[in-house]
């Protein structure tokens, strides 16, 4: 069946997308800094994602910084009908692998304007606050997001790395369409957030979905299940996520067309109850 087997999800204020997307962080340089080592390869994986049916791509102003958004626009603009691109702002970059929360209202507004320019759109499909800045009142951060939506600069709004309480706080200012927290087989610290998102029909985008650590070591549970089902360990990890919640929208990232194709094939993998129980017990 291909990627369509993953099913679809309705994102509030945005619409329906296929429930397996692509994360465009890895098309930048080492440390998520600067240009990719092979620009042609980066463009090829972006094109292949869309050709294989991906209709939701996740990026951020800080990936590069600016590099990921620019490559997406250079490769895909004018965008195919139905393609949605979600981006983020709220983290300054001071060097490779360095991320500094920055949530001043004027900064967030500036970054939205720059993302609009780089992506070549009149409104961002989904704009997510990359991190809540502890040095800035949340009212200032959430307030400017709500203003940007009212002004038509963004269609849908989301959050990243937040607690249930922070989601509920943000809901006093705008409709929370998505939450992007770290979540995978061995890191389920956001289980309560996932449960809340599922109950409230908020899209949950797990970042680092394939970082399963010890679970994917030789001779481990994931390898045994993968061998039994004739799949890769990454496919098993993604299939588990897809079956975990109907609001789950994995966005595995890669700079390789081969790995992209492998990841997207997880949509066709159905885990039996025995496998699900074994994977549930991994954490």
Which pLDDT value is given to residue 212? 59
CB 236 within 8 A of CB 229: yes
How many of the other CB atoms lie within 10 Å of CB of 120?
A: 15
Q: 91-95 and 98-101 as β-strands: parallel, antiparallel, unpaired?
A: antiparallel
Q: Backbone phi, then psi, for 144, in 5-degree steps?
A: -70, -35
Q: SS3 of 182, please?
A: strand
- CA dist 28 and 31 (Å) reads 8
Which pLDDT value is given to residue 1? 74
- CA dist 16 and 5 (Å) reads 15
pLDDT tens, N- to C-terminus, the chain (283 residues): 799 999 999 999 999 999 999 999 999 999 999 999 999 999 999 999 999 999 999 999 999 999 999 999 999 999 999 999 999 999 999 999 999 999 999 999 999 999 999 999 999 999 999 999 999 999 999 999 999 999 999 999 999 999 999 999 999 999 999 999 999 999 999 999 999 999 999 999 999 988 856 666 777 899 999 999 999 999 999 999 999 999 999 999 999 999 999 999 999 999 999 999 999 998 7
- Give the model confidence (pLDDT) of 219-265 as tens digits: 789 999 999 999 999 999 999 999 999 999 999 999 999 999 999 99
Query: Residue 94: which H helix or E strand, with range?
Result: strand 91-95
* Catalytic residue numbers, as ranges: 63
Pick from 60, 108, 61, 52: nearest CA to 83: 52
């Amino acid at each position: 069946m291909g990627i369509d087997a993953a099913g679809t999800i309705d994102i509030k204020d945005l619409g329906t997308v296929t429930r397996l997307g692509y994360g465009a962080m890895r098309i930048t340089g080492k440390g998520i800094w600067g240009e990719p080592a092979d620009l042609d390869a980066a463009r090829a994986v972006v094109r292949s994602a869309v050709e294989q049916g991906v209709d939701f791509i996740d990026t951020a102003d800080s990936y590069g910084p600016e590099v990921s958004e620019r490559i997406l626009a250079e490769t895909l603009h004018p965008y195919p009908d139905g393609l949605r691109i979600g981006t983020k702002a709220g983290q300054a970059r001071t060097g490779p692998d360095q991320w500094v929360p920055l949530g001043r209202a004027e900064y967030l507004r500036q970054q939205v304007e720059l993302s609009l320019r780089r992506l070549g759109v009149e409104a961002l499909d989904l704009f997510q606050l990359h991190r809540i800045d502890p040095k800035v009142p949340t009212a200032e951060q959430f307030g400017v997001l709500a203003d940007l939506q009212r002004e038509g600069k963004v269609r849908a709004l989301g959050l990243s790395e937040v607690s249930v309480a922070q989601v509920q706080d943000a809901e006093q200012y705008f409709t929370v369409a998505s939450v992007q927290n770290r979540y995978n087989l061995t890191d389920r610290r956001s289980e309560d957030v996932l449960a809340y998102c599922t109950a409230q029909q908020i899209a949950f985008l797990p970042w680092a979905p394939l970082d399963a650590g010890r679970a994917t070591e030789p001779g481990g549970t994931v390898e045994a299940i993968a061998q039994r089902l004739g799949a890769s360990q990454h496919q098993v990890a993604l299939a588990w996520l897809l079956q975990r919640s109907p609001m789950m929208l994995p966005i595995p990232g890669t700079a390789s067309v081969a790995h992209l194709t492998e990841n997207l094939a997880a949509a066709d993998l159905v885990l039996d109850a025995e496998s699900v129980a074994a994977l549930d017990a991994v954490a």
